[in-house]
Amino acid sequence: MKISARNVLPGMIRHIEMGAVNAQIIIEVAPEVEIVSVVTVDSVKNIGLAVGKPAYAVIKASSVMVGVD
């Protein structure tokens, strides 16, 4: 994965709350340290996000994106 953002935190997906259009993703990046991201439901499906899978919290400015290998 190559991206321009400097702050990339590896972690584990601990919870996904699916809505009608968006989903809330909780990534644990350290014991008891979680980062929350809101992405589209289509993105959850397209990149295969699932609870228990490793993922990256990619932080640029005030936005938090999610990336996977």
pTM for this structure? 0.82
Q: At 24, list the tokens.
A: 């809330």
Phi, psi of 5 (to 5 degrees): -65, 145
Instruction: Please give the distance of CA 24 from its chain centroid, rounded to a whole number.
Output: 9
Q: At 49, list the tokens.
A: 């996000």
- For each of the domains in the chain, give its residue range(s) and CATH number, in order of start: 7-67 (2.40.50.100)
Query: Which residues, other chains included, contact 28 with Cβ-Cβ below 8 Å and sequence gap of 6+?
Result: 11, 12, 14, 34
Tens of pLDDT, residue by residue, the chain (69 residues): 788 777 899 999 999 999 999 999 999 999 999 999 999 999 999 999 999 999 999 987 766 678 888
- Amino acid found at 2: K
